Structure 1
Amino acid sequence: MNTNTPDLFDHPAPGGGSVWLTGQTDLATQLADGGYHPRTATDPDLIPPAIAAEIITRYTWPGELVLDPDCGPATTLVEALHHGRPALGLTTNPRSWRLARTNITTAKRSGAWSDGSILDHPATALTHIRAAGTRGTATLAITALRNPTRSTATTDLTTTLTHTRKALHPDGHIAIVATPTRDRNGELIDLPTAVLAAGQAAGLVLVHHAVALTAALHHDGVRTRAGITKRRRAHNHPSGKPIALTAHRHILVFQPALATVSAVAGAGHHHLGNTAVREAPFLHIGRTDLDAVGAAA
């Protein structure tokens, strides 16, 4: 097990930290049950439907707008529709746009909430779409940290978050989902710190840091769902040392700085929006056990 991994909660937030049991059902089953197009699974930064649903139900009520400024194949939007929330997504990737439209259309035909849209625009367009009635109305924005090994990943995320704030309700939340990623030497990249830096640069304050499992939790531990190919690659990594399989996503939840100050000031009146009151108790699993979980087969 890699002992040089960053602490899961190096950056404590007012809402604390928690572990979400979002991996009890495997991803293939989640996608099949949700009616997603088969190519949805090929997105390398895919937000699993169970994780999207967990965030949505924790931070919104039915009827509140959910936004994804870089939506990929739109699992976040589809789960919002299935849970009775209107949804709006943006992407400039033609393949993602077509796939997102297919998934949203399928969800609507299956009886999900009908108010779901996907725009062929970058997140910067959120600053200029007042006519669409979106500015300041989204209760929740969810998006993935995409292509995290790029040198511009953090600055690009800062730009996305800065413009996303324009569409966010003053008491709304922005959740960033980051998939654990290793460098060429097999060492885990400290993505939580990168996401935190991007959020702070965009004028946001971290209010919660969760670990959402993508593996099943059993009485005898966490079990990954990696196939034989991934397991062999982990044991025969180019770095010359075996690496542990990851089994989770990081979820960093932010609010605009002014909203956070207001919430703290009004805590005596229980004006906390939809945040900490719905958080599960923090299950402490330790410093390295999740970022480099050597889970059983």
Structure 2
Amino acid sequence: MPQQSADTPVTSPGVSVWATAQSAPASQRKHRYTPDSTAHPAKMLPAVAAHAITHYTRPGELVLDPMCGIGTTLVEALDAGRGAVGVEYEPHWVRTARGNVELAHDSGAPESGEVYSGDARRLPALLPTDYRGQVSLVVTSPPYGPSAHGQVITTNNVVQKFHHRYGNTLDRGNLANIGHHRLLAGFTRILTALRPFMKPGGHIAITARPWREHAELIDLPAQILACGTHAGLIPTERCVALLARVTDTELIARGSFFQRDFIRKQRESGLPLHLIAHEDVLIFRAPPHTDPATTPHDHTPYATDKTLDPTP
């Protein structure tokens, strides 16, 4: 895909494949992220964030992640000479993200990076007004909730799962814990709340992948596309970020233990599944102009989230 700046208009949807897993995730994070970053259950691949930042922004511009986790988007933005701001709900990951931002600054990143603690559905109340109209790119992903695999340890032939939750408790304030349809409604609220902070025509890149729930395939990318449209964003591209290494003859998937175990069991039961080899990257643009009279205000109680659900 040709490199684009934030001022390059996108006139029609495009298709692009991003070779973002040529090196292993651990190699991509080595010496650039704090050791406790590995415990997060659903980390974005650094090369995915870096690719979006390189192609949709220029040095000195501002990149935002409203659900920043360990701060992958922020670190990659800082390393590329962009400013970075993130919001994270879970206090543990707020501290981790701040540690990673500090590490990037210690490594010589020239721009500033900030991490704010709170619920991204309350974005206008969390971020200083100085950020309004300043964000050139958002890179983020919805939480995967129960589909996050985490890590494993085997004791006496018993496999135990750990680091597979976003927090230590099932806090209902975390979008990962409130059920699939309410997650979509909450994510729509977040996308709507982003609009006042975007530069006119700025980009929003959202990574998503399908998952299975009780053997039913959930087409999360299509649902996120509906969320963005409902939030008033303009869909422009649907790309593929590879989670597998490309060789001259094949794709080599980098599946977790639980992914491989799930595929094995499904094949034994007669369902011919394969390891996930990519994520969808949905690219939106912010409207050319934001009308202050239509700027969303965050006074809606959580109970009304269902009214924003883009699914039937």
Shorter-chain TM-score tier: 0.7 to 0.9
Superposed counterparts of 1:237-256, under 5 Å: 237=266, 240=269, 241-256=271-286
Q: 1:203 aligns with which of 232, 236, 251?
A: 232
The answer as to 2:206 corresponding to 1:176 is: yes
**Partner residue in 2 for 1:276:** none
What is the CA distance between 1:192 and its match in structure 2? 1.5
> Could you say if the C-alpha distance between residues 184 and 141 of structure 1 is closer, same or farther in structure 2, counting changes exceeding 3 Å?
same
Change (3 A) 1:80 1:195: same
Partner of 1:94: 91
Tell me how far apart the structure 2 counterparts of residues 134 and 123 of structure 1 sit (CA, whole Å). 15
State the partner residue of 1:155: 185
Map 1:99-138 onto structure 2 (within 5 A). Answer: 99-128=96-125, 131-138=128-135
Give the residue type in structure 2 aligned to 1:19. Answer: V
Q: Is the 2:25–2:45 contact (alpha carbons within 8 Å) kept by the matching residues of 1?
A: yes
Aligned to 2:255: 226
Q: For the Cα contact (< 8 Å) 1:45–1:179, is it kept in 2?
A: no
One of 219, 222, 226 as aligned partner of 1:190: 219
Contact 1:68/1:76 (8 A) holds in 2: yes
- Where structure 2 has 5 or more consecutive residues not aligned to the other structure, the ranges are 1-10, 146-178, 290-312
Task: Call closer, same or farther: CA 1:61–1:243 in 2, change over 3 Å.
Answer: same
2:63 is matched with which residue? 66
Letter in 2 for 1:190: D
Quote the offset at 1:198 in angstroms: 0.3
SS where residue 266 of structure 2 aligns?
coil
Aligned-residue identity in percent: 38
Instruction: Report deviation, 1:188.
Output: 3.3
**Alpha-carbon distance between aligned partners in 2 of 1:93 and 1:102, rounded to the nearest angstrom:** 14
Aligned length: 246
Measure, in 1, the Cα distance between the counterparts of 2:80 and 2:213.
Answer: 37
- Return the offset for 1:106: 0.9
| Comparing 112-121 and 126-135, the one that deviates more | 126-135
The 1-side partners of 2:267 and 2:95 are apart by: 36
The alpha carbon displacement at 1:17 in A equals 1.0
Using the alignment, how far apart are the partners of 1:198 and 1:38 within structure 2? 34
In the TM superposition, residue 52 of structure 1 has moved relative to its aligned partner by 0.4
8 Å Cα contact 2:184-2:223 kept in structure 1:
yes
Unaligned runs of 5+ in 1: 1-12, 260-297
Residue 146 of structure 1, CA deviation: 1.0
Equivalent AA in structure 2 for residue 213 of structure 1 = L
Shift of 1:256: 2.5
**In structure 2, how many angstroms separate the alpha carbons of the residues matched to 1:41 and 1:251?**
23
User: In the alignment, residue 236 of structure 2 is paired with which amino acid?
Assistant: V
Which string of whole-angstrom CA distances, capped at 9 and with x for unpartnered residues, describes residues 82-133 of structure 1?
Answer: 0000100011211110110111111111112340000012224432467541
Contact 1:154 1:197 in 2 (8 A): no
1:183, distance to aligned residue in structure 2 (A): 2.0
Q: Please give the alpha-carbon distance, in whole angstroms, between the structure 2 residues aligned to 1:239 and 1:138.
A: 48
CA distance in 2, matches of 1:224, 1:71: 25
For 2:75, give the aligned amino acid: V
Query: 2:132, 2:39 → 1: CA distance?
Result: 32
What is the one-letter code of the residue matched to 2:252? R
- Write the distance in 1 (CA, Å) between the matches of 2:63 and 2:57: 8
Counterpart of 1:174 in structure 2: which amino acid? I
Compared CA separation, residues 113 and 244, structure 1 to 2 (3 A): same
Distance 1:130 1:75, change over 3 A: closer
Relative to the length of structure 1, the TM-score reads 0.76
- Alpha-carbon separation, structure 1, partners of 2:97 and 2:231: 27
Residue type at the aligned position of 1:224: A
Give 1:214-293 correspondences, 5 Å limit.
214-226=243-255, 230-237=259-266, 240=269, 241-258=271-288
TM-score if structure 2 supplies the norm length?
0.73
Q: 1:38 to 1:184 in 2, by over 3 A?
A: farther
The change in CA–CA distance for 1:252 and 1:219 in structure 2 (over 3 A counts) is same
Shift of 1:41: 3.1
Distance (whole Å) between structure 2 residues aligned to residue 79 and residue 212 of structure 1: 16
1:212 corresponds to: 241
Pairwise CA distance, 1:189 = 1.7
